[in-house]
Structure 1
């Protein structure tokens, strides 16, 4: 015979408080003093109370289906050179669209705030959000050379960061998994029989993701015989960081002389890169794809079968940021987390004519 499940009412009776007080304590609601929350949470654990998953599912279902008169607002905070500059950069518009769609699905309104509005300081924006009752914040589209730390009254907010910048404070983070994306591309072409695999990447893009592109490439390249290992082409050369960081903001093309020298010296069977980086140079050199060299795009945005590559699933990054933030708000978790977590979003491989499988011999 199954034992009777401990309920909120049982805990409330044992503590001598109303059941609503217990519910608030278990949701870590700031309305209750910390010592009251801790006392009731400890009592619930000792009594063996656990939430009913079926009841939680019902509450979640009702929350999705019942119309809300005034949806809560989530702040989508950007720190770019202009209010809309981030919309012209790879990935960032997709982050926003994914976040906006998921926010609407969960019953929230997503509102954009630009940190560089004239006269706006970190403290002032923090106060504006708090005054409007906005306690859910997504830190997104933050330029690398902008402030490395954001100074909000974090105890007022639940927050999630998209991508790697700013570094401080250390918030829960959602980003694309560039290491697994390049590894996936490498694994597919190696399995198809390619051995001399070339990788071309802008140094700024590699730097901006904490060198995960190069780390993933080198990890998989180690599985090839030494004679087949081609040095990756990182461009531009390691000159002052400001020069190539600024250059990486635009959709640049690999330098012609360096690329041709690298290509002719190492004779790759397949090149992995961003299409706009290298295809114009290959066309200038009259190198035919895939007849002369196969090609894989790790920033794939066309799915008509012409190019093989990896879709980075940017919208999923934005959607997951909202899901994680909504979970924090539901459990009233505010402030900078003691142990921040990073959620990596993997890519999806697509076959394409640019990289025949199996490799032509």
Structure 2
């Protein structure tokens, strides 16, 4: 399939911003005449043709009539059940924020489940074409899958997280490597020591091993203060207890809320007091929670997803990108009772 030349292609060829190309092709007076002529010449030589979908979309979004001002973005899920993704609190928050920021840009978000009875990928593609839906957000995939069989050749798609490997799409992710660095830097300033990191292989795989990598980098630099991590297929009280009493960590970074809750319950049963005997930190802390940890900024992740998607949609950058872009969203440290922070409960 021959790829249509887009304004972004013309902009790259001329080493200018796509908005310059857009304005020049409209003969906007803000663009010097010489630049307009250079852009027009390059566009003609490269075979650029205005995309009627994009022109209609922009006109629609600029319409004064509310009922005609909203285009649809697909939120695609492929869990075993239609609402399987809703079991994740993070995904629920993301979906809410996606709708909010899409609405701010004149779009609405609609859910599509790939395993809907009688709905093949080909049939869903026909639905998208009939309804002129050209933008898609891919929800993180189910745990046992990393491939999505769907034709994105004339669509713009952005995936959230690292779970989707094929096809290689533009993606927006939490900076999992940075979460560990943020936590360690904050804890070091508070005088914490004898660190370790606890996770499951499932979580580790979902985040591309990035949290583990960040921790192991510290362990390699200072194995006296950073103990070897515990990463197992399934956490059990017996396995954790044996590891804890063997290594004697003073500060544990828990990769998830479930891991944090597991260690908290284990400590209660073992008469180990948090934070007096053990400081415990959650790397996926819920905003406003009382425990110490790093909040994954889900609203920023959603905002970045909508911005990335709509920018490419309005520049007609359809299809699988030649060079996929990854946008990372930083976390935010919040002190709390579990790491000995005073005033966290005030």
TM-score category, normalised to shorter length: 0.7 to 0.9
- 1:30-109 correspondence runs (5 A): 35-37=47-49, 66=64, 68-70=66-68, 71-109=70-108
1:192 aligned partner: 190
Instruction: Report deviation, 1:332.
Output: 1.5
Q: For 2:281 and 2:331, how far apart are their aligned partners in 1?
A: 13
**CA deviation map 1:150-183 (0-9, x unaligned):** 221x232111111123211111100111111112
Q: Is the 8 A contact 1:308 1:354 kept in 2?
A: yes
User: Alpha carbon RMSD of aligned pairs, Å?
Assistant: 3.2
- The one of 281, 301, 304 aligned to 2:286: 301
CA deviations 1:291-321 (Å, max 9, x no partner) are: 11111111111525x3111001123212211
Provide the C-alpha distance between the structure 2 equivalents of 1:311 and 1:64, rounded to a whole number of angstroms: 36
Judged with a 3 Å threshold, the aligned counterparts in structure 2 of structure 1 residues 296 and 67 are, in CA distance, closer, same or farther, namely farther
Q: Which among 154, 157, 160 is matched to residue 159 of structure 1?
A: 157
Please list, as runs of the form range in 1=range in 2, the aligned pairs for 1:196-207 lying within 5 A after superposition: 196-207=194-205
Match of 1:213 in 2: 211
The number of residue pairs the alignment matches comes to 303
TM-score (norm 1): 0.76
- Cα separation, 2, equivalents of 1:196 and 1:36: 60
Match of 2:227 among 207, 226, 230: 230
- Find the counterpart in structure 1 of residue 268 from structure 2: 283
**Cα distance per residue 1:303-344 (max 9 Å; x no partner):** 25x311100112321221111111111211111111111011
Give 2:295's aligned residue: 311
Q: 1:186–1:220: 8 Å Cα contact kept in structure 2?
A: no
Change in 2 beyond 3 A, CA 1:323/1:188: same
Extract unaligned runs of 5+ from structure 2.
1-22, 51-57
The aligned residue for residue 250 of structure 1 is: none
Q: Which runs of 4+ in 1 moved over 4 A?
A: 9-14, 62-67
Higher gyration radius (CA): 1
CA–CA distance in structure 2, aligned partners of residues 144 and 34 of structure 1:
43
The Cα offsets for residues 67-104 of structure 1, whole Å up to 9 and x where unpaired, read as 53221011000111111110112421122111111111
